[in-house]
Amino acid sequence: MKVISLASVRGAPGVTTTAILLASTFTDALVVEADLDGGVLAVRYGLGREPGLTTFAADGPDADGGWRAHAQDAGGVPVLVGPDAPAASTSVWRTAGERITHKLVAADGVAIVDAGRLRSPVPIVAASDLLAVFVNPVADQLVALTHLVPTLRQAVRGRVAVVLVGDGPYGVEDVERAVGVSVIGQLPNDPDAAEVLRVGGSRSHLARSQLARAVGALGVALSSVLLEPTTAVAAS
Ligand SMILES: Nc1ncnc2c1ncn2[C@@H]1O[C@H](COP(=O)(O)OP(=O)(O)OP(=O)(O)O)[C@@H](O)[C@H]1O
Ligand SMILES: [Mg+2]
């Protein structure tokens, strides 16, 4: 799979909400919960805690069905739900992170990884073709991102980019100049559309919302980066 990780540095800029919406813009995408603060998709969408990441991690490398046998449906999007307890989430990524990553990378399609708030990147984030860091364009989040960028550039295999969410005093050029990372997309503040997704509603009602249209454009931008030659991606 191509791996696109979504993450934040502070606050809750809408990583999980966007992960589901973004996956729905691809024909062959899977959402993987890798938020070390614990997964929320099982609760939001009324799903079981299994199957999911834990059963996928325990499965043999040649098991029938690959990830599909462990995915559940979150409003029309396949998801590998992560444990909701932070300790269990940290544990599965610490003990089985390499194995999970290896199996997903070897499969077809696109993995949209909900990496939650960034810490030292777990293996699937390190293996990303693209890490999109979500920030509200406000000073405290931009300062936090600036401090993280050198670490991320070293730790992540592919490109690092920023997604700006909502309004703030800083625009695209300010952010690119201050942080030194390109802005790959902008999402509106659209609480109504986001709330439908947060309570596990169907995304088919959202098609004409501002948020869905902006996430569609983000999907196009991300796809075009994934098609760039690896050398260009690695150099950015
Ligand atoms: N683009 C948006 N506009 C307005 N509200 C949004 C947007 N995206 C998400 N929200 C709302 O913000 C809250 C947090 O969203 P979400 O859980 O997706 O954020 P997150 O970044 O994953 O947070 P966390 O770090 O807690 O996992 C929810 O109430 C959600 O409905
Ligand atoms: Mg989240």
Whole-prediction pTM value?
0.95
* Cβ count near 28 (within 10 Å): 12
Does ligand 1 come within 6 angstroms of the Cβ of 191?
A: yes
Task: Return the domain boundaries, the chain.
Answer: 2-235
Determine the residue of 15, 16, 17 to mutate for testing ligand 1's pocket, defined as the one with the most ligand atoms within 8 A of the Cβ atom. Answer: 17
Q: Which residue's alpha carbon is at the smallest distance from atom 30 of ligand 1? A: 194
**Could you read off the pLDDT tens digit of each residue along the chain, which spans 236 residues?**
999 999 999 999 999 999 999 999 999 999 999 999 999 999 999 999 999 999 999 987 666 679 999 999 998 999 999 999 999 999 999 999 999 999 999 999 999 999 999 988 999 999 999 999 999 999 999 999 999 999 999 999 999 999 999 999 999 999 999 999 999 999 999 999 999 888 776 666 787 899 999 999 999 999 999 888 765 444 44
Whether 165 and 187 have beta carbons less than 8 Å apart is answered as yes
Does ligand 1 come within 6 angstroms of the Cβ of 185?
A: no
Helical residues (DSSP H) of the chain, grouped into ranges? 15-23, 41-44, 53-58, 86-106, 123-126, 139-155, 172-179, 191-198, 210-226, 230-235
Q: Which two tokens stand for residue 114?
A: 């909900």
Whether 36 and 93 have beta carbons less than 8 Å apart is answered as yes
Q: Which residue's alpha carbon is at the smallest distance from atom 19 of ligand 1? A: 14
Whether 30 and 5 have beta carbons less than 8 Å apart is answered as no
Q: What is the CATH number of domain 2-235?
A: 3.40.50.300
